[in-house]
């Protein structure tokens, strides 16, 4: 090796010759990275997709495509300023979208490696069939379609049915585990009826079901509201219930964690975590302070709580309810979950 002449006053000055050698060798100097060895972490800003803007786009989309042609009539909600910049997710590793099914339509069966959920915004007469089990779709219901479960959507109603999808699609892309299989589904073993899990504090034995997801696929809104009414005040001042697998008490799906949160006019204690969250405003109106953003929301609006941002919610109506889907479970399983609370009322939280 030849003796190098180092210019310590300009350590990042790379000659054209060296730059070209690096390019040919597929090498980049780490010291030019915008993120390496920098003390400040960048986090995404919160985004909102207001229903008043989204609904007309959905209506127009219904006139140009059908599930028979494009598999699913889905509009993806893409963060315009993702971190990292190459991401096409809604926030973090989560992908949210809006899907519409018209009367008489059928979205054929398929399955995939992603956990997915459907949170119904409006409509009646549609169902999602998950591993052969019918899950009627009414506003406010959560239908889960866990990884590798066959699922299709069918509408025999008289009005369009619209719901929010949330999937861990971006996570699987980054892990290299994205996989998809079109239907038709093979002969499926009969899944246990949801009714056998409806008696509090008991679960049937002998199911032999050790799958990493709930055997219950449909969580009706009425049940969740009843549970919220009996829930104690959580640490941040909100009432909160989690959608769980009744056999394990763990989140209903392995990698997506769902909660319903009820807030009143008092602001919730600031909270932040290393995971990301997609929110759907269900009832009432409110304001969420998310990092430096102040987001006003109404029913059917979809908005994000990006990882690392301090978050506080307050209702403008007497109470308000927000459905939340996060990848908290992913971070927990990896030992990377970091959650903290700030000071109550207006004070700048200590970082
Ligand atoms: Fe799917």
What spacing in Å lies between the alpha carbon of 41 and ligand 1's midpoint?
A: 34
Closest by Cα among 179, 186, 162 to 103: 162
Q: How far apart are CA 287 and CA 263, in angstroms?
A: 11
What spacing in Å lies between the alpha carbon of 153 and ligand 1's midpoint?
A: 10
What spacing in Å lies between the alpha carbon of 137 and ligand 1's midpoint?
A: 16
What spacing in Å lies between the alpha carbon of 67 and ligand 1's midpoint?
A: 12
pLDDT at 39: 77
pLDDT at 162: 97
- Within the chain, where are the H helices? 16-24, 51-61, 67-70, 169-175, 221-230, 328-333
What spacing in Å lies between the alpha carbon of 227 and ligand 1's midpoint?
A: 29
* Burial call 206-240: b when 16+ CB within 10 Å, e when fewer: eeeeeeebbbbbbbbbeebbebbeebeebebbbbb
What spacing in Å lies between the alpha carbon of 233 and ligand 1's midpoint?
A: 35
How many helices and strands, by DSSP H and E, does the chain display?
Answer: 6, 22
CA end-to-end span of the chain: 48
**In terms of C-beta distances under 8 Å and separation of at least 24 residues, what long-range contacts does 332-341 make, across chains too?**
333/255, 336/274, 337/273, 337/274, 337/275, 338/273, 338/274, 339/271, 339/272, 339/273, 339/274, 340/271, 340/272, 340/273, 341/235, 341/236, 341/269, 341/270, 341/271
What spacing in Å lies between the alpha carbon of 199 and ligand 1's midpoint?
A: 30
pLDDT at 349: 44
What spacing in Å lies between the alpha carbon of 308 and ligand 1's midpoint?
A: 29
DSSP code, position 297 = E
What spacing in Å lies between the alpha carbon of 240 and ligand 1's midpoint?
A: 28
Token output for 59: 């209506």
What spacing in Å lies between the alpha carbon of 154 and ligand 1's midpoint?
A: 13
pLDDT at 267: 96
What spacing in Å lies between the alpha carbon of 232 and ligand 1's midpoint?
A: 35
Strand order from edge to edge, sheet including 293-297: 293-297, 286-290, 311-315, 271-273, 339-341
Mean per-residue pLDDT pooled into runs of 10, the chain (351 residues): 55 80 94 83 92 96 86 92 79 95 95 97 97 97 97 95 96 93 89 88 82 94 97 97 95 97 96 97 98 97 97 97 97 97 63 39
What spacing in Å lies between the alpha carbon of 235 and ligand 1's midpoint?
A: 35
What spacing in Å lies between the alpha carbon of 118 and ligand 1's midpoint?
A: 10
What spacing in Å lies between the alpha carbon of 275 and ligand 1's midpoint?
A: 23
pLDDT at 1: 53
The residue length of the chain stands at 351
């Amino acid at each position: 090796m030849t003796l190098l002449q180092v210019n310590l006053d300009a350590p990042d000055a790379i000659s054209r010759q060296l730059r070209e050698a690096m390019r040919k060798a597929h090498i980049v100097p780490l010291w030019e990275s915008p993120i390496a060895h920098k003390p400040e972490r960048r986090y995404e800003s919160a985004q909102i997709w207001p229903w008043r803007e989204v609904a007309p786009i959905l209506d127009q989309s219904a006139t140009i495509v059908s599930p028979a042609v494009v598999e699913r009539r889905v509009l993806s909600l893409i963060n315009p300023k993702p971190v990292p910049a190459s991401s096409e997710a809604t926030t973090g590793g989560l992908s949210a979208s809006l899907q519409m099914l018209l009367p008489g339509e059928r979205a054929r069966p398929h399955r995939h490696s992603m956990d997915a959920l459907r949170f119904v915004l409006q409509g009646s007469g549609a169902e999602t069939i998950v591993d052969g089990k019918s899950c009627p779709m009414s506003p406010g219901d959560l239908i889960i379609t866990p990884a590798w479960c066959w699922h299709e959507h069918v509408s025999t109603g008289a009005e369009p049915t619209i719901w929010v999808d949330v999937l861990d699609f971006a996570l699987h892309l980054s892990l290299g585990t994205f996989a998809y299989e079109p239907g038709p589904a093979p002969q499926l073993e009969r899944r246990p009826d949801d009714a056998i899990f409806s008696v509090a504090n008991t679960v049937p034995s002998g199911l032999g079901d050790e799958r990493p997801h709930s055997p219950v696929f449909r969580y009706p809104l009425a049940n969740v509201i009843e549970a919220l009414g009996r829930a104690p005040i959580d640490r941040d001042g909100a009432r909160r219930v989690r959608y769980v697998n009744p056999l394990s008490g763990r989140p209903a799906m392995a990698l997506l964690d769902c909660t319903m949160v009820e807030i009143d006019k008092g602001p919730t204690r600031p909270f932040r975590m290393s995971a990301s969250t997609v929110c759907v405003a269900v009832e009432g109106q409110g304001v969420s302070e998310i990092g430096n953003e102040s987001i006003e929301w109404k029913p059917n609006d979809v908005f994000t709580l990006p990882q690392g941002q301090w978050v506080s919610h307050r209702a403008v109506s007497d109470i308000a309810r927000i459905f939340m889907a996060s990848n908290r479970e992913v971070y927990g399983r990896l030992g990377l979950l970091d959650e903290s609370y700030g000071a109550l009322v207006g004070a700048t939280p200590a970082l």
